Amino acid sequence: MALLDLVVLPDPVLRTVSKPVERFDAQLARFADDMFETMYKAPGIGLAAIQVGEPLRMLVIDLAKKDEPREPHVFINPEIRAFGDAPSVYEEGCLSIPDYYADVERPANVTVTYRDLSGAEKTIEADGLMATCLQHEIDHLNGVLFVDHISRLKREMVVRKFKKLAKERGGTRITV
């Protein structure tokens, strides 16, 4: 397994619309392992492939708490099929926008179809943190960031801050 480099705001790669996965092979399984390792190390609870520079419609999630056994989930070519009516609010963060958190309102329930690593079709009816996390990560596959769901003023502030940081670093990518 290998740690992958995280792509960080304001890298325009984050605005890429990712392409469906077509080959369900050993290489894909290895890539999923690397995504998990990178996510656990960060640490985070979700990671989309584009956040490590791969424009593939694929994401990993593990909502287990620190003292609980790991619960790795891989979602390939996920599609939101239905939203519930009730909203929920979580304070969200993102490995591509380090140390920034904001309340985001999203539907509290979603039905998502996806494929697993073997290519088998699956459906999940998610609520709570899983519903929010899935929507946050699926947004990444469409080039959308959680800061797109907050006020324009707040978003411009955070983008400006990250542009300034990138300028000071002389680059836009960091390795953690």
Q: Which residues are catalytic?
A: 137
- For CA atoms 121, 48, 68, 130, the dihedral sign is negative
Q: Which is nearer to Zn ion, 49 or 94 (CB)?
A: 94
- Shortest Cβ 119–Zn ion spacing (Å): 25
In sequence order, the 6+-apart residues with CB closer than 8 A to the CB of 112 are 75, 78, 79, 80, 81, 123, 124, 126, 134, 138
Indicate the residue whose CB is closest to Zn ion: 94
Q: Which is nearer to Zn ion, 4 or 94 (CB)?
A: 94
- Shortest Cβ 118–Zn ion spacing (Å): 26
CB atoms within 10 A of CB 16: 17
Residues near Zn ion (CB under 5 A) are 94
- Shortest Cβ 3–Zn ion spacing (Å): 18
Report which residue type is found at 59.
L
